[in-house]
Amino acid sequence: MSQVRVFPEGFLWGAATAAHQIEGSPLADGAGPSIWTRFAHTPGMTLNGDTGDVACDHYRRWKDDVALMKQLGLQAYRFSVSWSRILPEGTGRVNQAGVDFYSRLVDELLANGIEPLLTLYHWDMPAALDDRGGWLNRDCADWFAEYGSVLYRALDGRVKKWVTLNEPWVITDGGYLHGALAPGHRSRFEAPIASHNLMRAHGAAVQAYRAIGQHEIGLVVNIEPKYAATDSAADAAAVKRAHAYMNEQYLDPALLGSYPPELREIFGEAWPEWPAEDYALIKQSLDFIGVNYYTRSVTKDAISYPLNTGVVRQPSGTYTETGWEVFPQGLTDTLTWVKQRYGDIPMYITENGAAFFDPPVAEPDASGERRVRDPLRMDYLQKHISAVHDAIQAGCDIRGYMVWSLLDNLEWSLGYSKRFGVVHVNYGTQERTPKDSARWYSNVIASHGRSL
Ligand code: LGS
């Protein structure tokens, strides 16, 4: 690329992870079990029966991991807190050892000049709360605000950027509609209730933050732009359904105070009427939106449950190891769509990255370094960061970019089979080896994007 790209001053370059995917030691120091500990220990739920019992052992290696971030030159680190380390029963008794773990992590990040972005909920609800109905219980809004408040009191000021939920769409679609993710339910009737309660919980956590916190709080959503497979009216309608379901279902109530009408069409009798006060709770003023972007979908009308849409594979497309099409333009389109629909809200790219078949860690070269050559990931990141720049040029207020992920880690139901890290993890020895993409990303950061 010959064009030199200039990113705004203060634009933050970082990397992201999530508690269940990297920490290990899920029951250490008084923590309670989460739905993911329980789900992964249920036979047949994860590939090869993989669990988060050890993962990247970050719970014990956090200090070295922060040193690694520093070595890579990261300016920001997005991580999540495990609710059941803080409140082992989900509400009530606080487990101080859990709070201390994150407090030490935050101090270490700050001491190394790395800005923490803290996600309250990245999918690991305390199992004790699932026993009380989980996200299907309307009380979850109070539970979540109580949990958030414990952390706001302990960490606000040191943490200045807070996220309520990570990807409510995935939580509901995976956890309550199709059952591939914890807690593994499959119900068209439950899914809208779980979604709605997640958004009520989001609203309650933001409200609680405004009473205690002094800085910024936002919501992270996954957005996958939809493009029609043909110019037929049926495909255009399919695109509207898919887009409403995945992309508008959460941002619309959070920012506009309503749901898109297509949801009633999709869910039929399973779509409830909600009391007006719920909408008022959900629509809180937000300081930013976090966008997680991986791929697009080319969508057609088809018989499928419950959306009646299908995804058309692109014969000339490039696909990642998880089977997702590489489509950088979709990130620019996504960011400009958010601005156009919801107005000028600050945005972060809170996740973007790819799993590819990486070669094994090479034998040490002449300088004693061990490399992992991952040109496809480098190319993916280069194109997507450039796409972010295009959106900035188009007038979007984008404040930072977090690569998914810092480390190879536990990819939920897919276990350890898919590696998204810019740093390779040897799960036998826990050795970390920066891949070529990490070295490349370090240069991007050091040049503030000019070396792209
Ligand atoms: O590890 C997760 C990453 C990996 O890919 C992370 O915990 C999540 O927040 C996030 O959902 N992640 C992710 N999402 C990509 C979803 C793409 C779905 C495309 C399906 C096409 C058939």
Give the Cα separation of 213 and 232 in Å (integer): 50
Q: Is residue 89's pLDDT more than 70?
A: yes
Q: 23, 190, 262, 351: which is the annotated catalytic residue?
A: 351
Nearest protein Cα to ligand 1, atom 17 = 294
Give the Cα separation of 395 and 156 in Å (integer): 31
> Span 207-213, mean pLDDT?
98
Give the Cα separation of 370 and 433 in Å (integer): 7
> Span 402-420, mean pLDDT?
98
Nearest protein Cα to ligand 1, atom 22 = 324
Give the Cα separation of 90 and 100 in Å (integer): 17
CA of 402 to the centre of ligand 1 (A): 14
CA of 212 to the centre of ligand 1 (A): 32
How much of the chain is helix, strand and coil, in % rounded to 5?
Answer: 45, 15, 40
Give the Cα separation of 122 and 80 in Å (integer): 6
Give the Cα separation of 348 and 383 in Å (integer): 17
Residues in the chain: 452
Question: pLDDT confidence of 2, banded at 50, 70, 90?
Answer: low
Q: Is residue 81's pLDDT more than 50?
A: yes
ipTM of the modeled complex = 0.97
The pTM of the full predicted model, rounded to 2 decimals, is 0.98
- In 302-357 the beta strands, taken as DSSP E runs, fall at 309-311, 347-351
CA of 412 to the centre of ligand 1 (A): 10
CA of 64 to the centre of ligand 1 (A): 27
CB 14 within 8 A of CB 406: no
Q: Is residue 444's pLDDT more than 80?
A: yes
Catalytic annotation present for 351: yes
Give the Cα separation of 67 and 73 in Å (integer): 10
Average pLDDT, the chain: 98
Catalytic annotation present for 167: yes
- Tokens representing 320? 């990642």
CA of 334 to the centre of ligand 1 (A): 16
What's the confidence (pLDDT) of residue 1? 47
326-349: pLDDT as tens digits: 999 999 999 999 999 999 999 999
151-203: pLDDT as tens digits: 999 999 999 999 999 999 999 999 999 999 999 999 999 999 999 999 999 99
18-60: pLDDT as tens digits: 999 999 999 999 999 999 999 999 999 999 999 999 999 999 9
Q: Which atom of ligand 1 is nearest to the CA of 222?
A: 11
Ligand 1 shell residues, CB under 6 Å: 18, 21, 166-167, 170, 222, 292, 294-295, 311, 324, 351, 404, 411, 420
Nearest protein Cα to ligand 1, atom 19 = 324
Q: Is 318 left (phi over 0), alpha (psi -120 to 50) or beta?
A: beta
CA of 294 to the centre of ligand 1 (A): 7
Q: 108, 167, 224, 411: which is the annotated catalytic residue?
A: 167
CB 299 within 8 A of CB 310: yes
The preferred substitution site among 411, 413, 414 for testing ligand 1, maximizing ligand atoms within 8 Å of CB, is 411
CB 121 within 8 A of CB 175: no
Nearest protein Cα to ligand 1, atom 4 = 411
Per DSSP, 113 falls in state: T
Q: Is residue 14's pLDDT more than 60?
A: yes
Report phi then psi at 189, rounded to 5: -80, -35
99-155: pLDDT as tens digits: 999 999 999 999 999 999 999 999 999 999 999 999 999 999 999 999 999 999 999
